[in-house]
Amino acid sequence: MSFASLALSPPILQAVNEQGYNEPSPIQAKAIPAILTGNDVMAAAQTGTGKTAGFTLPILELLSRGKRARSKQVRTLVLTPTRELAAQVAENVEKYATHLPLRSNVVFGGVSINPQIQKLSRGSDVLVATPGRLLDLHQQGCIRFDDLEILVLDEADRMLDMGFIHDIKRILKLLPAKRQNLLFSATFSNEIRALAKGLVNNPVEVSVASPNTTAKTIEQWVYPAERSKRAALLVHLVKDNDWQQVLVFTKTKHGANRLAKQLDDKGITSAAIHGNKSQGARTRALENFKTGQIKVLVATDIAARGIDISSLPQVVNFDLPEVAEDYVHRIGRTGRAGIDGHAISLVTNEDFKLLAAIERLTAQVIQRKMIEGFTPINPLPESSLDSRGQKAPNKPKKTASRNSRSKPRPNKNNGSDDSKSDSRPKRRRVNPNPKSRTARKPQG
């Protein structure tokens, strides 16, 4: 199948060709025709499947057939959970609309609102926004939705996880009843279906893979390690393997800052991005990472949402995520568009339960590797897919030191040696779904 067979106009096909894509990904092949019919659509698609182009291309096709947006009006609204994702979606819209007389804008918090107000005054055929800033702009009378034709909720599951449900409901009340609704989510959980009841009408459901599966293009393995030796082990891995581009996940903001400094002190150019960083600092760090000015980008889960690098070779879990589903999202940053990627996790004895949950969810035992000089004193228990009944690992052995009783115990609730964590709602664990094969995923 080619993009030309999907009833897209020559200007859009030209833009797609200029981006180097010849064939649509599975989600694009299913979603584009459904959206072009004007139906509401619910699509289940993981990060890295090309889902952004899956809704951007047909939206641009539909918009190109109508009248341009009037002053302050919006014809298509795309809601995203984070600033980074909003910027990424907006970049895709600009690329694919380069040969069309359409105007697109993006608005999010953390930056000055005045330039955004000026751009919105000219009207937006496509507006990509985070919920909070959008409501601020509407309250100030800078934006109107009388002419809205299409609404997109991108990564709806993450929006719910981050507590945006009330903002979404407020926004829905501002929109005209007659519109096309598109909902994209990693899963069709009960919460997502509850949200969909008040949003979509007789939707076409599109799904290309079961949730919680990992791409075959990603090689995964675990390095057992002592908590205090993880930073030194990461330095060794980066230098010994001559890694030039590594995305590292930590559990906390302070842990991200500390690790980035430790890497810098060892001669490995690094930067941290998280919720306490200004939007300007986050944008600069991401750009420097993409261009190779820094080798390692250390990120928390929320800040990393929306990071889209076509050929990212390595992802490292310095801390395992508390929620197993986040592991799939994290490592999905690599192994995209059919290109091989590597996902490495540094796992302590205390983190065995988190590792076992990930292995149950993804229905695979992750290969383990040891490096001379970094063998942990407290070994990591063996895994099996029937690990639900396994006992928790033994507590770390006490050293023979006379002062061992006075030494503080490791903080079991903190994977970054830090008591503070990103402020976000606690998440409910979701039962794993059966594994299914994941098709190779063109990016978009």
Token match 């001379």: residue? 372
Confidence of residue 48 (pLDDT cuts 50, 70, 90): low
- pLDDT-based confidence at 158, cuts 50/70/90? confident
Q: Highest mean pLDDT range out of 149-153, 192-196, 376-380, 415-419?
A: 149-153
Confidence of residue 311 (pLDDT cuts 50, 70, 90): confident
**Residue recorded with tokens 């989600």:** 27
Mean pLDDT over 39-58 rounds to 87
Task: Give the confidence band of 436 by pLDDT, cuts at 50, 70, 90.
Answer: very low
**Does the pLDDT of residue 334 top 90, yes or no?**
no
Asked if pLDDT for residue 415 goes beyond 60, the answer is no
Average pLDDT over residues 227-254: 95
Q: What pTM was computed for the model?
A: 0.62
Question: Is the model more confident about 311 or about 123?
Answer: 123
Tell me what pLDDT residue 268 has.
Answer: 96
Kindly report the average pLDDT of the chain as a whole number.
Answer: 83
Give the per-residue pLDDT at 210. Answer: 55
Res 345 pLDDT > 70: yes
**418 pLDDT above the threshold of 50:** no
In the block, tokens 């006490």 appear at: 398
Which string of DSSP letters, residue by residue, matches 338-404? Answer: T--EEEEEEE-GGGHHHHHHHHHHHTSPPEE---TT---SSPPPPP-TTGGGPPPPPPPPPPS-TTG
Give the tens place of pLDDT for each residue, 255-290: 999 999 999 999 999 999 987 888 788 888 888 998
More confident residue, 367 or 393: 367
Instruction: Assess whether pLDDT exceeds 60 at residue 403.
Output: no
Share of the chain above pLDDT 90, in %: 55
Give the per-residue pLDDT at 47: 66
- Which of the listed ranges 47-56, 79-88, 171-180 does the model predict with the highest average pLDDT? 171-180
More confident residue, 397 or 58: 58
Look at strands 296-299 and 314-317 and give their pairing: unpaired
Range of weakest confidence among 20-34, 383-397, 402-416: 402-416
**Would you say residue 175 has pLDDT above 90?**
yes
Q: Which of 410, 394, 251 is nearest to 323 (CA)?
A: 251
Mean pLDDT of 175-186: 93
| 338 has pLDDT over 80 | no
**Residue 216 in this model has a pLDDT that exceeds 60:** yes
In Å, how far are 81, 86, 196, 248, 332 from 304, measured between CA atoms? 12, 12, 26, 10, 11
Instruction: Give the pLDDT confidence score for residue 340 in this predicted structure.
Output: 80
pLDDT of amino acid 6: 93
Q: Which of 31, 50, 22 is nearest to 441 (CA)?
A: 50
**Residue 138: band (very low, low, confident or very high) from pLDDT cuts 50, 70, 90:** very high
Give per-residue pLDDT as tens, 100-121: 999 999 999 989 999 999 999 9
